[in-house]
Structure 1
Amino acid sequence: MDLPLLFEKEMRLLLQDKYTDFIDAYDQPRYFGLRVNPLKVGADFPDKMAFELRKIPWCHEGYYYQEEERPGKDAYYMAGCYYIQEPSAMMVGRAVDAKPGDKIIDLCAAPGGKTTHIAGMMDNRGLIVSNDISPSRVRHLSKNIQISGIRNCVVTSEDPKVLARAWPGYFDKVLVDAPCSGEGMFRKDPKLIKSWEESGPDDFVPIQRSILASAHRLLKNGGTLTYSTCTFNMKENEYMVAAFLKEYPQYELLELERILPVSDGFSINGSDACLKRTKRLWPHLFEGEGHFVAKMIKKDVYIESNVHVFQSSIHQEAKAAFLNFAESIGYEPEEGIIDALHQHVDKIFCMPKEAPKTQGLRVFSSGWLLGTYQKKRFEPSQALASALKPDQVRNKIMLSHDDINVTRYLKGETLSIDVENGWYLICVDVYSLGWGKVVNHKLKNKIEASWRWL
């Protein structure tokens, strides 16, 4: 691989006698990974896959698969049973160590790998705000959240500075998977080499510094801040963390040895020995492309946040239409859902508990999108289907994984089904895929148009 000369020079200085091993790794095949989704599947799910999987040591839910396999073209993927993710990137969600009931914000979330990992740990309890400053990237982020069956996520597209002003001291955990020079992605996507030559580490340092300042303001006292990059450069990694600790001395680096069995970070000129508590994954030492992770705790005296919680509201007609739909398919909404219904224009959401007020912010999704209310009718969403389990509804059509009708459904085709008229949850094995509406034994395909297989 033709790497930038400046990059090679910096890596030679950093790695010294290990440099040759590092460079040789670029001529080796890259590693491919997927992470199973505990919101949708049980521990036995990997045994159902049609190809061989091998455990990733730093992620309980992570597995390697072979390059020739195509898990993204499988119905289980469309059912949200797993998320395809570069193996070393799974270190980040593991470091965050989310718990049910946490209030977490992922500041640079697209395309959603870390958000979906965190959500699986939270079991739909608590709050996730998933943010990305790029509106175009947020659309793909929202799709990955919906397909994963996540119910407790608010999606925003804001500058972190704006969020910090709106929600100071509100979150238990903040994740900054920072924009970076992407040196760890050279083997995965060689086109990034040209980007590195045009916008190297020095261009990203001020961006990372600014986002970390916003993260500090968003984090409550006693909370944890996780910082990560997919690059090797010390300016973006250890130097960035050292500068942050100097500016905000109330933070302390946490040990990650127990949960991330990879290499320690570097100290700087023999000082700042605590920086060895950070973690690095090197492609010549571990089966992944490369990543850096640091986790810090904010040790200020606790001060209660004055951020106001969002108050949901819905027109009675829209609420009644949703309840009538639920009754028609035999779905009894779980405790708390009815009280959390919120209407924004024609969209009906279930708001996560303790979601903060979003007035004046660019909000892409106010929570779990249940559907739309138009012309006095409720139309269910793809997100509602993805988050339901077949045993929660009466009206369902269960298709086996090998049934040709699964492929036909995912392509958006109309199916012939000998059932009564009405809405049905379409499932592959025991995993929900989407909606269909049966009229005179013809199932009108209601899978989201942008989700259909071509």
Structure 2
Amino acid sequence: MAQLPQEFLIRMQDMLGDEFDAFLTSYEAPRTAGLRVNTKKCRMEDFPSLVPGTWKKIPWIPNGYFVPDGMRMGQSPLYAAGVFYLQEPSAMTPASRLPIEPGERVLDLCAAPGGKATELNARLAGTGLLVANDISNARAKALLRNLELFGSENVLVTNETPAGLANVFPGFFDKILVDAPCSGEGMFRKDEAVIGTWTPERPDFFAELQREITANAVKMLRPGGLMMYSTCTFAPQEDEGTVSFILENFPEMELIEMESYEGFSKGNPAWGNGDPAIEKTVRIWPHKMNGEGHFLALFRKNGRGAAGMPAEMAEEWQKEAAKTEKKNKKQKNRKKDRGTEAPGPSKTEKQILSDFLAQMTVPIPVEELEVRAGKVYHSPSLPDGVRNLHFLRNGLYLGELKKDRFEPSQPFAVTLTVDRFRECLNLKADDARLEKYLHGETISAEPGETAFSSGWKLVCVEGFGLGWGKLVNGTLKNKYPVGWRK
């Protein structure tokens, strides 16, 4: 491992005292790999039978497993079907400690590459709304890809500043996750390249940035809502220091306890402003748990909002917003981005779409669909101001209308399962045809493997949608997108 910075070691020795040697020894241990089961698709208890091996649960993550040594889970066709997400165990913790209920409005403010956003969306179970944002366009594209891979439907993926979002979504969200950009000290063992970027000035730089980000997040949280703040650093000014900033500047925000685990350590009030409530925050130390370094703080917003909105007014605002949403949903034409019309499908297009969607056991109503430049979307209802935001995706991209036909999309495929779509070619995980399919090759289908001998087929692995193919004379023409292939 690369040499740890001397200034970092001096500060950590001062912070940890007698525990410093154990902390230092932890860097000699191999990094821990984990995966998180997509509970929107697969029950936790069903996963081990899908992938033979010795699976050990991550004890503080309800749907997490440690990946056995030597297993290359990224090569599994079940990964390509979005059945699980590969993620370091400590990094799973913030999303696991932010309680999400179906139907809620959720914001992941610094969401790329998508590990936490995919979990938040899975727990929404196809309802409500997840706004997943990243300020970097390149990172936002990676975020979108991971959300699509996971079969996410009710998502708005944005590429905006926190201030830009706050202008559109004041008091809008029930739950917010701020996994803030940080100096990355907790990731030194996982990614040695982070060591080379660290300087003694970086914690102060990121602390200032975190305060700007969280100030905007507070504005977007409704009274009674919850906000999770997290980092992957040990630096006090970024952890207890930023928590202290929130408590001092937003009196409506209070720290609350989160679900505990025996390996969690309390935050240290002395590393912040001395407020005893800081002990409700959590530090994950690599010498105390089987994971990398992390920090978590769970807040609840009480009374007046950051913009001075009393709780009663906020409730009234929420009612009005709900009325607006209902009204918007009935409209056939809605503007969704920078003044671009988003009409519903024409009469002819409705017929084409209805014929294809009839293959679903519970078809998506064509009245809820939007068509933009021939592309078909199933989009959630949003405030009018959203058209002024820069976003990469609003809702589920179903596919494209071309002349007199409809071609379904890859993101649509991975939302489906054998019990949701009638025309399937369902293969076992060890079927040799899957490897060929994921490489973009044509594959064969035996008589009786599909309900009909021709037409569009949903290719599945163990019942989970993987992609599309078109069956002609026993040969499946591969429609797996080039950018998704192995």
- TM-score normalized with structure 2 length: 0.89
The answer to whether the 8 Å contact 1:135/1:157 transfers is yes
Moved more, 273-282 or 413-422: 413-422
Cα distance 1:115–1:78, how it changes in 2: closer, same or farther (>3 A)? same
Distance in 2, Cα, partners of 1:362 & 1:52: 45
Farther-moved stretch of structure 1 (418-427 vs 444-453): 418-427
Inter-partner Cα distance in structure 1 for 2:284 and 2:92: 11
2:462 is aligned with what amino acid? D
* Alignment match, 2:294: 291
Q: What is the percentage of aligned positions where both structures have the same residue?
A: 40
Matched, 1:256 2:258: yes
Matched, 1:411 2:442: no
Contact 2:97 2:259 in 1 (8 A): no
Distance 1:288 1:15, change over 3 A: same
Q: In the alignment, what sits opposite 1:41?
A: 42
Q: Would you say 1:343 and 2:371 are equivalent positions? A: yes
| Cα-to-partner distance string for 1:142-199 (whole Å, 9 max, x where unaligned) | 1111111121111111111100001111111111000111111110110111111386
Q: State whether structure 2 residue 423 is matched by structure 1 residue 422.
A: no
Query: Which amino acid in the other structure matches residue 446 of structure 1?
Result: K
Question: What does the per-residue CA deviation read over 1:324-351, in whole Å, with 9 as the maximum and x for residues that have no partner?
Answer: 2223xx224446x434312222221111
With over 3 angstroms needed to count, the CA separation of the structure-2 counterparts of 1:37 and 1:141, relative to structure 1, is same
Task: Decide whether the 8 Å contact of 1:57 with 1:261 is kept in 2.
Answer: no
How large is the Cα RMSD of the aligned pairs? 1.9
Q: Is the 8 A contact 1:37 1:148 kept in 2?
A: yes
CA contact 2:361–2:419 (8 Å) conserved in 1: no
Distance 1:44 1:372 in 2: 34
Instruction: Give the aligned partner of residue 354 of structure 2.
Output: 323
Contact conserved, 1:94 with 1:259, CA < 8 A, in 2? Answer: no
Match of 2:390 among 362, 371, 377: 362
Does the CA contact (< 8 Å) of 1:95 and 1:260 recur in 2? Answer: no
Cα deviation code 1:288-339 (max 9, x no counterpart): 0111110101102421256654655412243332212223xx224446x434
Deviations 1:259-316 (A, max 9, x none): 7851111112682110010011100000001111101011024212566546554122
**Aligned counterparts of 1:215 and 1:230: Cα–Cα separation in 2:** 19
The alignment status of 1:373 with 2:401, answered yes or no, reads yes
Partner Cα distance (1:28, 1:415) in 2: 44
Amino acid of the structure 2 residue aligned with 1:451: W
The Cα shift of 1:200 comes to 1.8
Equivalences for 1:10-409 in 2 at 5 Å?
Answer: 10-42=11-43, 43-197=45-199, 200-258=202-260, 262-268=264-270, 271-300=274-303, 301-302=310-311, 303=314, 304-305=317-318, 309=325, 312=334, 313-316=343-346, 317-327=348-358, 330-334=359-363, 337-353=365-381, 357-409=385-437
Measure the CA separation in 2 of the matches of 1:141 and 1:259. Answer: 29
Alpha-carbon distance between aligned partners in 2 of 1:26 and 1:444, rounded to the nearest angstrom: 49
Which residue of structure 1 lines up, in the alignment, with residue 465 of structure 2? 432
Which range moved further: 347-356 or 174-183? 347-356
Counterpart-to-counterpart distance in 2, 1:431 and 1:257: 32
Which shifted more, 106-115 or 345-354? Answer: 345-354
Partner AA of 1:11 in structure 2: M
Secondary structure in 2 aligned to 1:342?
Answer: strand
Determine helix, strand or coil for the equivalent of 1:391. coil
Deviation at 1:203, TM superposition (A): 1.9
DSSP 3-state at the match of 1:192: helix
| Contact 1:87–1:288 (CA under 8 A) maintained in structure 2 | yes
Task: Give the Cα–Cα distance (whole angstroms) in 2 for the partners of residues 47 and 356 of structure 1.
Answer: 47
* Distance in 2 separating the partners of 1:109 and 1:362: 15
1:50 Cα deviation from its structure 2 partner: 2.5
Please give the per-residue CA displacement for 1:364-396, whole angstroms capped at 9, x wherever unaligned: 111011112233432101111101111222211
Say which is worse superposed, 241-250 or 297-306, in terms of deviation: 297-306
**Partners in 2 of 1:356 and 1:117 — Cα distance?**
27
Aligned-pair CA distance for 1:122: 1.7
Tell me, in whole angstroms, the C-alpha distance in 2 between the residues paired with 1:428 and 1:72: 15
Report deviation, 1:356. 6.5
Structure 1 distance, partners of 2:403, 2:227, is 46
Distance 1:436 1:126, change over 3 A: same
The structure-2 alpha-carbon separation of the partners of 1:259 and 1:131, relative to structure 1 and needing over 3 Å to count, comes to farther
**Distance in 1 between the 2:221 and 2:351 partners?**
39
Residue identity matched to 2:360: Y
CA offset digits 1:397-442 (Å, max 9, x no partner): 1111111101100111011234622000001121111100122332
- Structure 2: distance between partners of 1:395 and 1:355: 37
Q: Distance in 1 between matches of 2:411 and 2:258?
A: 35
- Is residue 282–residue 289 contact of structure 1 (8 Å, CA) maintained in 2? yes
In structure 1, the residue corresponding to 2:386 is in which secondary structure?
Answer: coil
Where does structure 2 lack aligned partners over 5 or more consecutive residues?
Answer: 304-309, 335-342, 448-452
Report the 3-state secondary structure (helix = DSSP H, G, I; strand = E; otherwise coil) of the residue aligned with 1:358. Answer: helix
Q: In structure 2, how many angstroms separate the alpha carbons of the residues matched to 1:181 and 1:347?
A: 41
Mark the CA change 1:259 to 1:361 in structure 2 (over 3 Å): closer, same or farther: farther
Q: 1:363 to 1:320 in 2, by over 3 A?
A: farther
Aligned to 1:447: 480
